[in-house]
Structure 1
Amino acid sequence: MRIRPFERADTDVVVALWHEVGITRPWNDPHRDIERKMSVQPELFLVGIEDGEVVASAMSGFDGHRGWLYYFAVSPTHQGRGLGRAMLDEVERLLIERGCPKLNVQIRDGASALVRRYEQWGYATDGATGMGKRLIPD
């Protein structure tokens, strides 16, 4: 798999991937989220390409204190082959390059298999509760 920065031409296939893996939510417009990301650190929005096809995505950012990972997805037909680990390695490399001391991920309730996967990758719960407040409705 080749990893490269997202390009606007990837939009429809990336949004379709997010729908396929079930990480979109009705209250978040993925097209707007892409546009927002393209205005801030677009180089930290990555796609994984295999045989000319987008098979993975990872949207990350660094606010000067912590890194964050969003819209991390691998096509179901390509899972179990280390592609997610490769994408995460690249995200971590890019964030370390920027001096980021810690990467945070948020995992939705009920995704215990995903929690176990992140634990295998060296992540641990850190005793914090994620909370959010919508400032701009989609």
Structure 2
Amino acid sequence: MLTIREYNNSTDRAEVIALWRQVFGYETAHNDPALAIDKKVAVKDGLFHVAAEQSAIVGTIMAGYDGHRGWLYAVAVHPERRRTGLGAELVRFAEAALARAGCMKINLQLLASNEATAAFYKSLGYSVEPRVSMGKVLHVNGPEAVWPNE
């Protein structure tokens, strides 16, 4: 039986890290799964969920909400569970959690070359918006976080 529930750091951590490494690869330090989990858990917003099937983690979703806009992150589905509706179920679960928090609009980012994932989100009602996505890595918050002397 499949259950979607809030992430539990003491029981889920190792499996989530393994799943993310398998699904996402993560080649840059700021995307290290252990670091991402630590930073999300520290926020304590209740928007990090796992899909468990017979105690095995088969999917994850993280969401964020800043009072203006919601975001979806780390939507991961174990390769053996893809094309079963689990990804859609995880997204809908996070959408409901964001709606309960008062969120009116959800955004997400994906690589422009990831056509299969774009098609998945389009099937759930998301659309490409005329925006430029910009980013900046703050190295002071990476794995060796050290603030420079001021």
Contact kept, 8 Å, 2:21 with 2:33, in 1: the verdict is no
| Corresponding position: 1:2 with 2:7 | no
1:38 pairs, out of 14, 20, 41, with: 41
Provide runs of 4+ in structure 1 moved above 4 Å.
none
| Corresponding position: 1:84 with 2:84 | no
Distance in 1 (alpha carbons) for counterparts of 2:17 and 2:121: 23
The structure that has the greater radius of gyration is 2
Match for residue 18 of structure 1?
Answer: 20
Q: Deviations over 1:19-47 (max 9, x none)?
A: 11125232322111111101114410000
Name stretches of at least 5 consecutive residues in structure 2 with no aligned partner.
Answer: 144-150
Match for residue 93 of structure 1?
Answer: 96
Distance in 1 (alpha carbons) for counterparts of 2:18 and 2:89: 21
Contact kept, 8 Å, 1:5 with 1:42, in 2: the verdict is no
Distance in 1 (alpha carbons) for counterparts of 2:132 and 2:34: 27
Q: Normalising by the residue count of structure 1, what TM-score does the alignment of the two structures yield?
A: 0.94
Match for residue 103 of structure 1?
Answer: 106
Distance in 2 (alpha carbons) for counterparts of 1:137 and 1:36: 10
The offset of 1:13, in angstroms, is: 0.7
Q: Normalising by the residue count of structure 2, what TM-score does the alignment of the two structures yield?
A: 0.87
**CA RMSD, 1 decimal:** 1.2
Match for residue 147 of structure 2?
Answer: none
Match for residue 137 of structure 1?
Answer: 142
Q: Residue 7 of structure 1 aligns to which amino acid in structure 2?
A: N
Q: Residue 91 of structure 1 aligns to which amino acid in structure 2?
A: A
